[in-house]
């Protein structure tokens, strides 16, 4: 399921931590129980439609992220109120919400998906490090409308299987790539939404030029999302000009003095 990662890097440490967490999760909430309760969960909201934009639409879609901390920047916001942020994101014009659910490195939690959905009517993306079938079912169980799949983490067969399973459960998959090789894997897996992460998951350095390079290889008909390192309206205009449909922004929003004003600046 999971491809071999370089030992000692941040990504490998996160994955090891998730493996340990999953042992506890399966004991506390077996997959059989999750499957039996999924039918009672609210029908997924349409994440794909929410972030799609036509070529002639100058308003880029924003996936606003709820993020308390990160391995590279540490604590971003000390008093995180998920319900308050979700409401403000929606009111300011975000098209969807991304919620970090990884606990140890990002100070998130699966419970924040439900809080965000209770507070706003926008589709909610689960952003985490997913590499086992259990986590795909768990994502639907906690109410996620979409989930992140990282091409760098998954073997090609697992990526294809998880995209298909997500669709069967009614969820969209945002398949994240960092270079052309990972993009090829995503395309072979029939990913509909391609997220280009400008952050190198090995070094955590950010370079927005990554999007400008990788997007050249993406065929028409895919929804393209640029992630990380987007801080200004100027960045957004540059991305819109190369036909990026949506942006995923977290740090520059949660660290701004006025969240609503920052979102309005980005969406235009």
The answer to whether the CB of 203 falls within 8 A of the CB of 6 is no
What residues are labeled active site?
A: 65, 67, 127, 176, 197, 227-228
Euclidean distance between CA atoms 133 and 171, whole angstroms: 14
What is the DSSP track for 199-259? B-TTT--B-THHHHHHGGGPPTT-EEEEES---SHHHHHHHHHTT--EEEE-HHHHTSS-H
The answer to whether the CB of 210 falls within 8 A of the CB of 224 is no
Q: Dihedral sign, CA of 202, 149, 50, 225? A: positive
Residue with tokens 């009614």: 170
Beta bridge partners of 172: 146
Euclidean distance between CA atoms 211 and 216, whole angstroms: 9
- DSSP-derived letter for residue 2 is B
The answer to whether the CB of 44 falls within 8 A of the CB of 170 is yes
What does the chain come to in residues?
Answer: 268
What is the DSSP track for 177-208? ESSHHHHHHHHHTT-SEEEEE-B-TTT--B-T
The answer to whether the CB of 138 falls within 8 A of the CB of 144 is no
Compute φ and ψ for 2, nearest 5 degrees: -105, 135
Identify the three-state secondary structure at position 146.
strand
Q: Which of 246, 200, 189 is nearest to 47 (CA)?
A: 246
């Amino acid at each position: 399921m999971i491809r071999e990662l370089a030992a000692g890097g941040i990504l490998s440490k996160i994955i090891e931590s998730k493996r340990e967490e999953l042992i506890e999760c399966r004991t506390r909430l077996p997959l059989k129980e999750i499957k039996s309760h999924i039918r009672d969960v609210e029908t997924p909201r349409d994440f794909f439609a929410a972030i799609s934009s036509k070529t002639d639409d100058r308003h880029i879609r924003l996936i606003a992220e709820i993020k308390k901390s990160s391995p590279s920047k540490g604590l971003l916001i000390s008093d995180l109120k998920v319900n308050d942020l979700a409401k403000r994101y929606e009111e300011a014009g975000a098209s969807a919400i991304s919620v970090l659910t990884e606990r140890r490195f990002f100070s998130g939690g699966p419970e924040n998906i439900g809080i965000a959905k209770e507070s706003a009517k926008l589709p909610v993306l689960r952003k985490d490090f997913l590499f086992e079938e259990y986590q795909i079912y768990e994502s639907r169980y906690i109410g996620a409308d979409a989930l992140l799949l990282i091409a760098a983490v998954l073997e090609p067969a697992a990526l294809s299987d998880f995209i298909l399973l997500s669709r069967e459960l009614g969820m969209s998959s945002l398949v994240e790539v960092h270079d052309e090789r990972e993009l090829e894997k995503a395309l072979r897996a029939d990913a509909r939404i391609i997220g280009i992460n400008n952050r190198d998951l090995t070094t955590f350095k950010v370079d927005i030029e990554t999007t400008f390079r990788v997007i050249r290889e993406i065929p028409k008909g895919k929804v393209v999302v640029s992630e990380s390192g987007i801080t200004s309206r100027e960045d957004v205009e540059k991305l819109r000009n190369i036909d990026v449909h949506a942006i995923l922004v977290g740090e520059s929003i949660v660290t701004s003095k006025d969240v609503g004003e920052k979102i309005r600046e980005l969406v235009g």
